[in-house]
A = this chain, B = another copy of it.
Amino acid sequence: MKQTRINKLFNIELPIIQAGMVWTSGWRLASSVSECGCLGLIGAGSMKPELLREHIQKLRKYFKENQITKPFGVNIPLSRGDVDELIKTAVDEKVEIVFTSAGNPKMHAGKFKERGITLVHVIASVKHALKAQDSGCDAVVAEGFEAGGHNGFDEITTFCLVPQVADALEIPVIAAGGIADGRQIMAAMALGAEGVQIGTRFAATLEASSSEAFKQKIVEAKDDSTALVMKKLNPVRLYKNRFANEVIEAENRGASPEELKELLGKKREMRGIFEGNLDEGELEMGQSSGLVSDIKSVKDVVNDLIQQYQKAAHNLKG
């Protein structure tokens, strides 16, 4: 694949980053992705600070025992109540790469930058991309409407977001949302991205810590199996299971944010993704789930991505 500023920024062979995903991207997934020459992220979204520390230490132990010297990172959602403790944990553990999402990077960027930590923020509009750049971020992830899990309010798609963000910024852009396949990596590069962040495809791997039932649901999903819901609260893309359909129905009758909050209740993500409760849980996945037809090892996924990319490059010449 093309070498870009993203390869240099993280010192990685392939400009592919695995997204931080709740109940999915622990030390095992992140280390496997990094081992393959991409950048793995431990997703702190579903971790208390102590658990995050444990995952960082386990990853480092595994790397040490296997004489692996690859970079890895941590994803921290800035919307968390205990965000300061999560940041302190990452800093204490001397994590060198941090991806932040779901919040204002300006408030926290200094804590990372003054320690020389590489900082990337996830955005979903040009306005927020410019704010991230102004805050001192080294790159942004431009995440489109098709992405799984939490998402922006403006519903801008990867196809439209990436070129507009690339035009507006000096720092490099990582495309995210809808990418499960090497053709799409090539397309993202054509749009001006210098790297890609991939979630759903890496969730359906042997190394992901999510439940087998959830992974199987990704495989079953078709092009039209997901929907963006909870738009009055905190938009999230879910597989349209019983719970998601209940939300859609409530939204259609004009449910208030309070009613939606009540309907959401607690720990839906854990129930769906980790426990595999396919009816009652939140099954966070992207529209790219329609492109995922098997559960396989991270290594096999990365090999597929490379081959699909090369095939797309060949076809474009045609």
Contact = CB atoms under 8 A, between A and B. Distances in A.
A313 B187 CA distance: 11
Contacts of A178: 157, 159-160
Interface residues of A, number: 52
A164 B291 contact: yes
A21 to B, nearest CB: 18
A187 B157 CA distance: 14
Contact of A145 (B145, B164, B190, B312): B145
Given A161-B223, A163-B291, A178-B157, A184 B189 contact: no
A126 B160 contact: no
Contact of A192 (B158, B183, B287): B183
A145 B145 CA distance: 9
A252 interface: yes
A220 interface: no
B186 A190 contact: yes
**Could you say how many copies of this chain the assembly holds?**
2
Interface stretch (A37-45, A71-79, A84-92, A224-232): A224-232
B154 A157 contact: no
A102 B177 CA distance: 27
Contacts of A275: none
A157 B163 CA distance: 15
B160 A316 contact: no
User: Which of A179, A313, A316 has the most chain B CB atoms closer than 10 A to its own CB?
Assistant: A316
30 contacts: A2-B316, A3-B318, A125-B223, A144-B159, A145-B145, A145-B155, A146-B157, A146-B159, A146-B160, A154-B224, A155-B227, A155-B228, A156-B223, A157-B157, A157-B159, A159-B159, A159-B177, A159-B178, A159-B179, A160-B290, A163-B181, A183-B191, A184-B190, A187-B187, A187-B188, A187-B191, A190-B312, A232-B252, A252-B254, A254-B255
Given A155-B228, A316-B316, 19 more contacts: A3-B318, A125-B224, A126-B290, A127-B224, A144-B159, A154-B224, A155-B227, A157-B159, A160-B178, A160-B223, A186-B190, A187-B188, A187-B190, A189-B316, A190-B190, A190-B312, A253-B254, A254-B255, A313-B316
